[in-house]
Amino acid sequence: MFKPAFAAMLAASCCPAIANIVAAGSPDDTSVTDNSIDAKTIEHISIYANRTATLQQDVLASITVLERADIVARQANDLPELLAQLPGINLSRDGGRGQNSSIYVRGGNTGHTLVLVDGVRSGSATLGYKALSMVPLELIERIEVIRGPRAAWYGSDALAGVIAITTRRSSALELHASVGSYGQAGADISVSQQLEQLTLRASAGASQADGFNAQPAQDPDSDGYQQQYLKVAADYRSDFGLWTAQADVNSGFNQFDTSFGSEDESDTLSRAYLLGWQQQLNNWQHQAQLSHNLDSDTTFGPDSRSPFVTERDEFSYQAASDISAGLQFVGGVNWYQEQVAKSATAYEQTSRVNRAIFAGVNYQQNALQLEAAARHDAINQYGAETTWQLAAGYQLTKRWQLRASRGTAFKVPSFNQLYFPGFANPDLKPEQSVSDEVALSYLGSGLQLQLAWFDREVTNLIQGVELAENVVLATVKGIEVSLLQHWQQWSSNFSYSYLDTENRSNGLQLERRPENTINWRGSYTADNWSAFITADYQSASYQGADWFSGDAYPDAPAHTLWGLGLSYTISPQLSLRARLANVTDKDYYTSRGYATAGANFRLSVSYILQ
pLDDT, one tens digit per residue, over 472-512 is 899 999 999 999 999 999 999 999 999 999 998 888 899 99
DSSP labels for 340-383? EEEESS--S--EEEEEEEEEEEEEEETTEEEEEEEEEEEETTTE
Give the model's pLDDT for residue 36.
34
The rounded percent of the chain whose pLDDT value lies above 90 is 79
Half-sphere exposure of 456 (CA within 13 A, CB side): 29
| Helix spans in 369-476 (H) | 415-419
What is the mean pLDDT of the segment spanning 225-252?
A: 96
**What residues contact residue 541 under an 8 Å CB cut-off, 6+ apart?**
511, 512, 513, 514, 515, 555, 556, 590
Are the CB atoms for 38 and 493 separated by under 8 Å? no
pLDDT, one tens digit per residue, over 405-416 is 999 999 999 999
Give the model's pLDDT for residue 14.
36
Residue 437 reports pLDDT greater than 80: yes
The rounded percent of the chain whose pLDDT value lies above 70 is 92
> Which stretches of 382-508 are assigned E, i.e. beta strand?
383-395, 400-411, 431-443, 447-463, 469-487, 490-503
What is the mean pLDDT of the segment spanning 281-304?
A: 94
**Bigger pLDDT: 1 vs 286:** 286
**Residue 7 binned pLDDT confidence (cut-offs 50, 70, 90):** very low
Residue 29 reports pLDDT greater than 80: no
Residue 524 reports pLDDT greater than 50: yes
Residue 591 reports pLDDT greater than 60: yes
What is the mean pLDDT of the segment spanning 508-531?
A: 96
What is the mean pLDDT of the segment spanning 301-330?
A: 94
Query: Distance of CA 164 to CAs 102, 301, 488, Å?
Result: 17, 35, 32
What is the mean pLDDT of the segment spanning 215-242?
A: 93
Residue 2 reports pLDDT greater than 70: no
**Residue 466 binned pLDDT confidence (cut-offs 50, 70, 90):** low
The Cα 290–Cα 351 span in angstroms is 19
Are the CB atoms for 41 and 445 separated by under 8 Å? yes
* Domains of the chain, start order: 4-609 (2.40.170.20)
* Most confident region among 30-34, 254-258, 582-586 by mean pLDDT: 582-586
What is the mean pLDDT of the segment spanning 209-217?
A: 92
**Bigger pLDDT: 115 vs 348:** 115
Query: Distance of CA 464 to CAs 433, 468, 499, 511, 581, Å?
Result: 19, 5, 22, 11, 35
Give the model's pLDDT for residue 440.
98
Residue 13 reports pLDDT greater than 50: no
The Cα 176–Cα 285 span in angstroms is 37
What is the mean pLDDT of the segment spanning 254-277?
A: 90
Give the model's pLDDT for residue 470.
87
Distance of CA 328 to the CA centre of its chain: 28
DSSP code, position 217: T
What is the mean pLDDT of the segment spanning 572-582?
A: 97
The total of other beta-carbon atoms located within 10 Å of residue 337's CB is 16
Residue 223 reports pLDDT greater than 70: yes
For the chain, the farthest-separated pair of C-alpha atoms sits apart, in whole angstroms, at: 69
**Bigger pLDDT: 563 vs 14:** 563
Residue 222 reports pLDDT greater than 70: yes
The Cα 160–Cα 114 span in angstroms is 8
> Average pLDDT over the chain, rounded to whole?
90
Give the model's pLDDT for residue 3.
40
Q: Which contiguous run of DSSP H or E holds residue 10?
A: helix 4-12
Distance of CA 518 to the CA centre of its chain: 18
